[in-house]
């Protein structure tokens, strides 16, 4: 990795995908270090992360029941916290949702001749 998490091995900018991975890790730790276990997101930290970093969740006016469902689905270990692996799986699911959305949008567009 050329530039990941602020550590430079070579004076070359990271590729966009490397940057995206680094940003995902940095955002997780930005919120996980606020309270309790610095390697896990509490429910409050997760809620704040979703509202600040994925505004689509805020725009849906996510109620408490929806939030508890998300936490329940993510918290595979049932520890009432979300670790990085659980978070990464969630981000992958969000990315797949975006992919499906854009794929559907492309299919609705008329083909260029």
Where residue 16 sits, what CATH number does that domain have?
A: 1.10.238.10
Residue 42 lies in a domain: yes
What one-character DSSP code corresponds to residue 85?
H
In the numeric block, which tokens belong to residue 79?
């520890």
In the numeric block, which tokens belong to residue 85?
């692996």
What one-character DSSP code corresponds to residue 84?
H
Q: What is the DSSP string of 36-74?
A: S-TTEE-HHHHHHHHHHH-HHHHHTT--HHHHHHHHHHH
Is the pLDDT at 40 greater than 90, yes or no? yes
- Domains in the chain, number: 1
Report for 24-28, 59-63, 68-72: range of highest mean pLDDT: 24-28
Of the two residues 14 and 48, the one the predictor is more confident about is 48
Of the two residues 5 and 78, the one the predictor is more confident about is 78
Output the pLDDT for position 104: 72
Is the pLDDT at 2 greater than 60, yes or no? no
- By residue range, what is the domain housing residue 29? 3-108
Residue 32 lies in a domain: yes
Residue 13 lies in a domain: yes
Residue 113 lies in a domain: no
Residue 68 lies in a domain: yes
d(CA 87, CA 12): 29
Residue 70 lies in a domain: yes
Q: What confidence tens digit (pLDDT) does each residue in 81-111 have?
A: 999 999 999 999 888 988 888 877 766 666 6
Residue 94 lies in a domain: yes
d(CA 21, CA 27): 10
Output the pLDDT for position 100: 87
Q: What confidence tens digit (pLDDT) does each residue in 12-30 have?
A: 667 999 999 999 999 999 9
Residue 85 lies in a domain: yes
In the numeric block, which tokens belong to residue 27?
């955002």
Output the pLDDT for position 1: 44
Count CA within 13 A, CB hemisphere, residue 52. Answer: 10
d(CA 92, CA 106): 21
């Amino acid at each position: 990795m050329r530039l990941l998490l602020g550590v430079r091995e070579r004076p070359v900018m990271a590729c966009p995908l490397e940057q995206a991975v680094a940003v995902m890790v940095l955002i997780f730790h930005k919120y996980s270090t606020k309270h309790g276990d610095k390697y896990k997101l509490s429910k409050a930290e997760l809620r704040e992360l979703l509202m600040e970093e994925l505004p689509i969740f805020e725009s849906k006016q996510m109620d408490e029941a929806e939030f508890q469902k998300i936490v329940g689905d993510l918290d595979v270990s049932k520890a009432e916290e979300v670790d990085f692996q659980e978070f990464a799986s969630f981000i992958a699911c969000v990315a797949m949702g975006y992919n499906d959305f854009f794929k559907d949008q492309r299919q609705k567009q008329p083909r260029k001749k």
